[in-house]
Amino acid sequence: MSYVPETLRKLARRFGATPFETIDVEKALGLKRSYVKNLMGQLKARGWITAKPHPSTRRRRVYAINYDAVGEVAVGGRLLGVELGEYVAFVNHRVIDHDPDLQRLTQRVMKSHRPEQVFITNMGTPKERISIGF
């Protein structure tokens, strides 16, 4: 689902802090209405956009990017060279590896580092919640 963060970046470049509607996204990105509605639902579920009722009709929504939710994650991801939604492994406050698949990342990292040396987190909203004990 790497298209979701990329779409958020496009929306941020196009609309900035200006509120927008689904039709604006359709025109700006050249996407079909059904696709845009699905995409907006995913962005809203992650907390990256907010939706309010349209002032003139209840059938439409007005969206805005929630920069409080995405700002730190987006800036951090760009600085680290990591995409939103990827898992990231740190050793001594340094990124040593990243991967969208948590198990694959953990297997690679644990081959060369002791568990107490490694901190693994994710960029953005977690896709799954797990607990690992060593």
What's the pLDDT score for residue 122?
76
Name the helix (H) or strand (E) containing 55.
none
Q: Domains in the chain, please, with CATH?
A: 3-69 (1.10.10.10), 85-134 (no CATH)
Residue 89, classified by CB atoms within 10 Å of its CB into exposed (0-12), middle (13-18) or buried (19+), is: buried
Do 94 and 125 form a contact (C-beta atoms < 8 A)? no
pTM beyond 0.85: no
Do 78 and 9 form a contact (C-beta atoms < 8 A)? no
- From 122, 48, 128, select the one nearest 84 (Cα to Cα): 122
What's the pLDDT score for residue 83?
63
- What is the 8-class DSSP label of residue 18? S
| 134 residues of the chain, pLDDT tens digit each | 457 777 887 887 788 778 999 999 999 999 999 999 999 998 888 888 899 999 998 889 999 888 766 655 555 555 455 666 678 888 877 778 888 888 999 999 999 998 888 888 876 655 555 555 55
- From 15, 17, 57, 59, select the one nearest 37 (Cα to Cα): 59
104: tokens are: 């694959």
Q: Is 64 left (phi over 0), alpha (psi -120 to 50) or beta?
A: beta
Residue 94, classified by CB atoms within 10 Å of its CB into exposed (0-12), middle (13-18) or buried (19+), is: exposed
111: tokens are: 């081959």
